[in-house]
Amino acid sequence: MTVACYHSVDPDWDQELSVEPDAFARQCAVLARRRVVSLDAVEARLAAGAALPRRRVLLTFDDGFADNAVHAAPVLRRHGLPATFFIVAASLTPGGVDVDWVRGVPADEAPPLLDVDAVRALAAEGHTIANHSWSHRDLTQLSESECLTDLRDSRELLSDVLGRSVTTVAYPFGRHAAHVRRAAQRAGHTCAFGLPDRPEETGPFAVPRVGIYRGNNLATFRLKMSEPYLRVRTSRTLERALTTARGAAAR
């Protein structure tokens, strides 16, 4: 199974995290010919530690940018594709949250996030709303107690907003460690998603995803959606080969 991770879908925000709407539409047209499943269809298997189904795709969006409702949701609707939106919980509080986690972008120049009504509307369309922490801090830099408070408070707020239990989390920046995974489970989640760019532990609380970014053409997208891609991309053999190549180039 391949789990795709998007962030923003916006024509004007020229950032790696922001896929252009036309490109997103072409990618969804490709996915419409494959078996795209909802999180509910695989969550029980993830919670049980069972193998994920093969030849399936799960679509996820991190951060909860408002453009997800404007540019992504209509394309998903047109193709009948379900998705999971991981929301930064503090963005739904009266004070909101500063989007200070996008590299090289001042918080006051970052695009807005979804509000409560938009989040509920996505859920009403059949999409899954899940947890992306309280304020998008790097959880690996917090203690286990701090992680537990962050993930429990965010899960409970999102559950209150939706009127149903939220039981899945995606780690901010995709980063996790043993104490973060323990905290995610103790906070009431049944599974959690990462976003690896190197070899790392996998399991129900470290489900790997593939990032989709601005500039990924259809050939690159098709490659990323192939099941072997992430295994190769995060293999220790490839990591050693790249390290060796970099060392040779530096000499």
The confidence score (pLDDT) of residue 249 equals 45
Task: Decide if pLDDT at 243 tops 80.
Answer: no
With contact defined as beta carbons under 8 Å apart, do 55 and 248 qualify?
A: no
The confidence score (pLDDT) of residue 242 equals 34
State pLDDT tens for residues 92-121: 999 999 999 999 999 999 999 999 999 999
State pLDDT tens for residues 119-141: 999 999 999 999 999 999 999 99
The confidence score (pLDDT) of residue 224 equals 96
Burial class (CB in 10 A: 0-12, 13-18, 19+), 184: buried
The confidence score (pLDDT) of residue 248 equals 42
The confidence score (pLDDT) of residue 192 equals 96
The CA distances from residue 99 to 9, 14, 107, 108, 112, in Å, are 16, 16, 5, 8, 8
With contact defined as beta carbons under 8 Å apart, do 60 and 86 qualify?
A: yes
State pLDDT tens for residues 206-222: 999 999 999 999 999 99
With contact defined as beta carbons under 8 Å apart, do 158 and 87 qualify?
A: yes
Pairing of strands 84-87, 128-131: parallel
The confidence score (pLDDT) of residue 49 equals 76
Confidence of residue 238 (pLDDT cuts 50, 70, 90): very low
pTM of the complete model: 0.93
Confidence of residue 245 (pLDDT cuts 50, 70, 90): very low
The confidence score (pLDDT) of residue 250 equals 47
- Of all residues in the chain, what percent carry a pLDDT higher than 70? 93
Distance between CA atoms of 225 and 93, rounded to whole angstroms?
35
The confidence score (pLDDT) of residue 240 equals 52
Pairing of strands 57-63, 191-193: unpaired
Mean pLDDT (whole number) for 2-25: 97
Apex CA 210: angle with CA 171 and CA 58, to 5°? 85
The confidence score (pLDDT) of residue 45 equals 84
The confidence score (pLDDT) of residue 31 equals 96
Q: Which CATH class is domain 2-250?
A: alpha beta
Q: Please identify which residue in the block is written with the tokens 């490109």.
A: 23
Mean pLDDT (whole number) for 54-70: 96
The CA distances from residue 129 to 39, 77, 211, in Å, are 10, 16, 19
Pairing of strands 191-193, 128-131: unpaired
The confidence score (pLDDT) of residue 232 equals 84
DSSP per-residue string spanning 211-230: E--TT--HHHHHHHHSHHHH
Structure tokens at 77: 């609707």
